[in-house]
């Protein structure tokens, strides 16, 4: 466009800028798209990067008709202040400062002008704060006085000044460590605290006189920022706590921000025994609760009210929850009145405390998850506090006989409230860790445990709270759960959601009762759930109930270990569920089976009373019938579970027989495939055949993972064939890439072939990491492995190289240590230079290769360092180059390499001088 060409030419000149032309370019940037927008953006970026562009800012701010252009000008000015301010002459700095202040006063002179230019004024405030950070206090010692005095001249100026002080507080106290040097940050903090009296006096005057709603709002918001850092004397040696709690909570417009201020006060860490401070806090709390009680009643259904409330009312309830939690966690000891006969002078405090706890219980029932998490944080802390008073499990038989007079006064104070809390926790119990079926980057369908999500964190916090609640009164917890279960059975509260939550809650308290109580409770729960399963019609209902039964029994291994017949019944029931095609049931059956197998594995390999052989043998005899309806990922879980059971067999010959029996089915298919491939390897170009190989390998990995070193016999049976398949598929992948280029790697068959290679490497990595027989690995595993894998890695195109080769080598080096030193030259010759060539172009390409390569370097340096000392200087230079390249990365494991080499340096003799010379030259 002609305008853009004209602008490009005009902006490149160093004379006065054509502001009208700038406005047109900014308008194109904001309103157009495609090529014109990109060109306009390029012109604006070039103008912003011009070293003298800041000299044109005043003209843009003065004459531009667009706020967007003015905003752009302020961005230029902000960058100059941040990066070049100290290099500007003092007269120019003073001129910029005066100009910004005058423009701000102009824009904040009247309410209407201020509202029209809100965004622009905020940017100006940010620019001024950047100047203040540079010049205050040395070059602008009167800044605080200036801003306080100007606040007295005009209401809107005062509001904007409060915003400036709030921004400055954020920049110095909240984000100072990110954008200031430590010394500068400390200096500004001291200066702000030292001159805060003027600001504090201004804030108090405004709050006492209440000139207008908007000014009070701005002052309260600014004060809330200050309360995180101001010296505690301003809070506890003035009347600010009473001023806030007594005057502003009754007015709806100020409630939220006032509660936020009171929350900050509640969180102040007071390092003094001055009783007047505690008196102020208690008085503040009691006044606050009095005002809140005039707005909210303990009889109110807050959950229902919150659902239909306005945004402002919801913020109020949320802010109230935050205040209550903050005060209770920091100062609950000040408001707990534990005497049975309450003294008159403490009655108001006790009433305020009771009201606060009741309101917090009501807020806990609100469905909004963020509000619930705030409350949960408090309940988790409080129940832990009460538990620690007397941390032991009380047998229920004795518990009922104990006099409540012997109960600790704090526990007695909260007894009724904790009973109500148990009901809430049980009815709202979060979902435990779950397993998802996902497709990975290689197109394989795999099972993946969901970890570290908000829901898992929520479950863990709720479980912890419920565990403490059960320790505090297991009879009450049991009663609440059995009542909820009865409501499910009689249909009063039956729903899938309610049943799931109840069963998750039942499962979460495993181990909190003495064994006798746990047995009685669990038998009751299982009996009622089985009865519910019989009672309900419809496959969906039965599937949900069955899944919950499986989940509950899987959570109570102590009970299962003590009752073999019940354990056997449960396992057989799980095998039945493995044929149930309803969504989720088979997954739950497999997950429960592996959970039980890990916790009760010894019971399956011994002959139980009234049995004629171990149950594991019976299981393996019926293996085909058990797993015939499971998907491949589910079969892998099953094999891992049985592997755990087999690992418990201490008789080596019996264990080997069990492994062979377990692997019979995959071995039969494997032998058929290998027989066909030995006649004609083109069968490994059939996609379904390659998928079968991949599935067999995954089954081997699953079993090896749990069986460990005893898997050696099975691996020995298939090892040579594994390496043959690896070589054949490597050749086929290389041929495909040679023929079709890198696009061949996107082909589904080629991707599956590579997945097979990767799984072979994973199987070998798993076995080696779990096997302590260094002689076996060195003599039987390493020679054929290096022959097949290292040459393939070296000759392949970079995109087809398997990063798992590098991680396998790291595991080998770590396991064998110095025994592998004779093989280090072969390793370096095969993978070193070709890997370096892949990752030395930038810091991002081939991320998995990069990580695994540096981990290999680390393991070699740690385990085989003497080998490097005997290298020819040219080869050593290559290693040093890699180490120097490693130093330039920010990865933690790469930094460890540097650390380790530094430690080695101290122990090196003089004959290694050339090594360190090379290293330092490289650096």
Q: How far apart are CA 125 and CA 162, in angstroms?
A: 10
Q: How far apart are CA 518 and CA 515, in angstroms?
A: 5
Mean pLDDT over residues 231-238, rounded? 92
Of 379, 383, 503, 363, the closest CA to residue 431 belongs to 503
- Total Cβ atoms within 10 A of residue 792: 22
Asked: is 651-801 a CATH 3.40.50.720 domain? The reply is no
Residue 159 pLDDT > 80: yes
DSSP state of 511: T
Whole-number pLDDT of residue 177 = 64
DSSP letters, 136-157, are TTTT-TTHHHHHHHHHTT-HHH
Whole-number pLDDT of residue 493 = 86
Q: How far apart are CA 718 and CA 668, in angstroms?
A: 11
Cα 54–Cα 59–Cα 61 angle in degrees, nearest 5: 90
Contact 196, 230 (CB under 8 A): yes
Contact 638, 591 (CB under 8 A): no
Whole-number pLDDT of residue 922 = 47
Residue 766 in 3-state DSSP?
helix
Q: In terms of pLDDT, which residue wins out, 496 or 378?
A: 378
Mean pLDDT over residues 718-742, rounded? 90
Helix-, strand-, coil-residue percentages of the chain, each rounded to 5: 80, 0, 20
Largest Cα separation within the chain, whole Å, is 102
Kindly report the pTM of this predicted structure.
Answer: 0.81
Residue 271 pLDDT > 80: no
Contact 820, 863 (CB under 8 A): yes
Mean pLDDT over residues 826-834, rounded? 88
Contact 706, 644 (CB under 8 A): yes
Q: How far apart are CA 192 and CA 768, in angstroms?
A: 61
**Chain center to CA of 862:** 32
Band of the pLDDT at 846, cuts 50, 70, 90? confident
For 871-901, how does the pLDDT look when each residue is reduced to its tens digit (9 = 90+)?
777 777 777 777 666 666 666 655 566 566 5
Q: What are phi and psi of 448, to 5 degrees?
A: -135, 130
Residue 452 in 3-state DSSP?
coil
Highest mean pLDDT among 250-254, 868-872, 917-921: 250-254
DSSP state of 431: P
For 783-810, how does the pLDDT look when each residue is reduced to its tens digit (9 = 90+)?
999 999 998 898 888 888 899 999 999 9
Of 63, 58, 65, 28, the closest CA to residue 43 belongs to 28
Contact 225, 208 (CB under 8 A): no
Q: How far apart are CA 210 and CA 213, in angstroms?
A: 7
Whole-number pLDDT of residue 518 = 93
Domain ranges of the chain: 651-801, 819-922
Residue matched to tokens 């055949």: 689
- Total Cβ atoms within 10 A of residue 806: 24
Residue matched to tokens 């499990």: 393
CA-to-CA dists, residue 165 to 130, 223, 307, 889, angstroms? 12, 9, 36, 40
The token duo for 312 is 């402002």
Which residues, in sequence order, are CB contacts of 418 under 8 Å at separation 6+?
383, 386, 469, 472, 473, 476
Whole-number pLDDT of residue 910 = 41
The token duo for 600 is 């009760």
Whole-number pLDDT of residue 451 = 59
Give the whole-number percent of the chain exceeding pLDDT 70.
Answer: 91
Q: What are phi and psi of 891, to 5 degrees?
A: -65, 140
Whole-number pLDDT of residue 889 = 61
Q: How far apart are CA 376 and CA 389, in angstroms?
A: 20
Q: Comparing 249-258, 383-392, 508-517, which segment has the lowest mean pLDDT?
A: 383-392
Residue 923 pLDDT > 80: no
For 749-769, how does the pLDDT look when each residue is reduced to its tens digit (9 = 90+)?
999 999 999 999 999 999 999
For 67-101, how does the pLDDT look when each residue is reduced to its tens digit (9 = 90+)?
999 999 999 999 999 888 988 899 999 999 999 99
Residue 402 in 3-state DSSP?
coil
Rounded to the nearest 10°, the torsion over CA 415, 421, 423, 428 is -160
DSSP state of 614: -
- Total Cβ atoms within 10 A of residue 297: 13
- Total Cβ atoms within 10 A of residue 801: 20
């Amino acid at each position: 466009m002609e305008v853009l060409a004209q602008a490009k030419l005009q902006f490149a000149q160093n004379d006065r800028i054509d502001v009208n032309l700038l406005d047109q370019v900014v308008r194109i940037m904001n309103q157009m798209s495609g090529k014109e927008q990109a060109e306009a953006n390029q012109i604006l970026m070039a103008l912003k990067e011009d070293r003298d562009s800041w000299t044109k800012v005043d003209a843009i701010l003065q004459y531009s008709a667009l706020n967007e252009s003015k905003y752009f000008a302020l961005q230029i000015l902000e960058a100059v202040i941040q990066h070049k301010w100290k290099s500007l002459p003092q007269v120019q700095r003073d001129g910029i400062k005066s100009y910004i202040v005058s423009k701000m006063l102009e824009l904040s002179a009247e309410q209407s002008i201020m509202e029209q230019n809100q965004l622009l004024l905020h940017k100006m405030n940010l620019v001024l704060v950047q100047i203040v950070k540079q010049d205050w206090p040395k070059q602008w010692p009167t800044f605080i006085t200036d801003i306080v005095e100007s606040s007295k001249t005009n209401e809107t100026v005062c509001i904007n000044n409060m915003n400036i002080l709030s921004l400055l507080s954020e920049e110095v106290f909240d984000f100072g460590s990110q954008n200031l040097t430590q010394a500068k940050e400390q200096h500004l903090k001291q200066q702000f605290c030292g001159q805060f009296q003027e600001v504090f006096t201004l804030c108090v005057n405004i709050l006492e006189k209440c000139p207008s709603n908007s000014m009070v709002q701005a002052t309260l918001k600014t004060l809330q920022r200050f309360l995180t850092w101001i010296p505690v004397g301003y809070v506890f040696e003035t009347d600010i706590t009473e001023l806030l709690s007594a005057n502003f909570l009754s007015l709806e417009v100020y409630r939220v921000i006032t509660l936020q201020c009171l929350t900050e006060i509640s969180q102040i860490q007071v390092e003094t025994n001055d009783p007047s401070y505690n008196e102020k806090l208690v008085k503040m709390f009691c006044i606050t609760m009095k005002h809140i009680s005039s707005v909210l009643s303990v009889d109110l259904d807050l959950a229902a009210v919150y659902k239909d409330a306005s945004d402002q009312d919801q913020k109020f309830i949320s802010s109230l929850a935050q205040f209550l939690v903050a005060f209770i966690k920091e100062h609950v000891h000040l408001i707990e009145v534990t005497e049975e006969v309450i003294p008159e002078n403490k009655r108001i405090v006790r009433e305020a405390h009771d009201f606060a706890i009741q309101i917090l219980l009501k807020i806990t029932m609100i469905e909004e998850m963020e509000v619930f998490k705030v409350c949960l944080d408090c309940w988790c802390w409080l129940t832990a506090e009460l538990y620690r008073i007397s941390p032991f499990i009380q047998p229920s038989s004795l518990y009922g006989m104990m006099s409540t007079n012997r109960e600790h006064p704090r526990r007695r104070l909260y007894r009724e409230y904790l009973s109500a809390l148990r009901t809430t926790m049980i009815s709202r119990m979060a979902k435990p860790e779950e397993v998802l079926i996902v497709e990975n980057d290689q197109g394989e369908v795999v099972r993946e445990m969901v970890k570290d999500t908000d829901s898992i964190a929520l479950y863990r916090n709720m479980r912890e709270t419920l565990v403490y609640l059960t320790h505090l009164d297991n009879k009450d917890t049991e009663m609440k759960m059995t009542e909820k279960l009865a409501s499910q059975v009689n249909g009063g509260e039956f729903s899938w959601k309610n049943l799931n939550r109840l069963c998750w809650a039942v499962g979460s308290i495993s181990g909190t009762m003495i064994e006798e109580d746990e047995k009685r409770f669990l038998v009751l729960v299982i009996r009622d759930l089985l009865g519910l399963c019989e009672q309900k019609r419809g496959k969906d209902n039965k599937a949900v109930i069955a899944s919950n039964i499986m989940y509950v029994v899987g959570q109570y291994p102590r009970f299962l270990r003590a009752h073999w017949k019940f354990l056997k019944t449960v396992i057989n029931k799980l095998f039945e569920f493995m044929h149930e095609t309803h969504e989720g049931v088979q997954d739950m059956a497999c997950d429960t089976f592996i959970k039980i197998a890990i916790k009760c594995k010894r019971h399956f390999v011994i002959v139980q009373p009234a049995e004629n052989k171990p149950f594991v043998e019976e299981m393996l005899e019926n293996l085909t019938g058990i797993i015939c309806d499971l998907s491949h990922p589910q079969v892998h879980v099953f094999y891992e579970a049985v592997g755990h059971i087999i690992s418990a067999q201490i008789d080596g010959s019996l264990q080997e027989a069990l492994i062979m029996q377990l692997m019979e089915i995959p071995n039969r298919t494997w032998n058929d495939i290998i027989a066909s491939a030995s006649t004609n390897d083109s069968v490994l170009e059939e996609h379904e055949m390659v998928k079968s190989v991949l599935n067999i390998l995954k089954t081997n990995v699953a079993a090896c993972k749990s069986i460990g070193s005893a898997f050696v016999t099975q691996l020995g049976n298939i090892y040579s064939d594994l390496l043959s398949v690896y070589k054949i598929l490597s050749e086929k992948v290389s041929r495909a890439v040679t023929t079709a280029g890198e696009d061949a790697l996107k082909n589904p068959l080629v991707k599956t072939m590579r997945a097979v290679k990767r799984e072979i490497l994973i199987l070998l990595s798993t076995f080696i990491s779990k096997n302590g027989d260094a002689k076996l690995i060195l003599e039987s595993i390493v020679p054929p492995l290096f022959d097949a894998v290292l040459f393939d890695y070296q000759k392949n195109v970079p995109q087809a190289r398997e990063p798992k080769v590098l991680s396998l080598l790291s595991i080998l080096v770590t396991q064998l240590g110095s025994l592998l030193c004779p093989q280090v030259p072969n390793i370096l010759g095969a993978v070193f230079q070709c890997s370096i060539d892949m990752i030395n172009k930038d810091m991002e390409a081939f991320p998995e290769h990069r990580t695994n390569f540096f981990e290999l370097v680390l393991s070699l340096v740690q385990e085989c360092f003497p080998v490097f000392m005997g290298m020819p200087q040219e080869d050593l230079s290559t290693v040093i180059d890699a180490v120097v390249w490693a130093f330039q990365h920010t990865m933690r494991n790469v930094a460890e390499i540097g650390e380790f080499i530094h430690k080695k340096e101290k122990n090196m003799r003089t004959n290694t001088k050339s090594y360190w010379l090379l290293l330092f030259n490289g650096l």
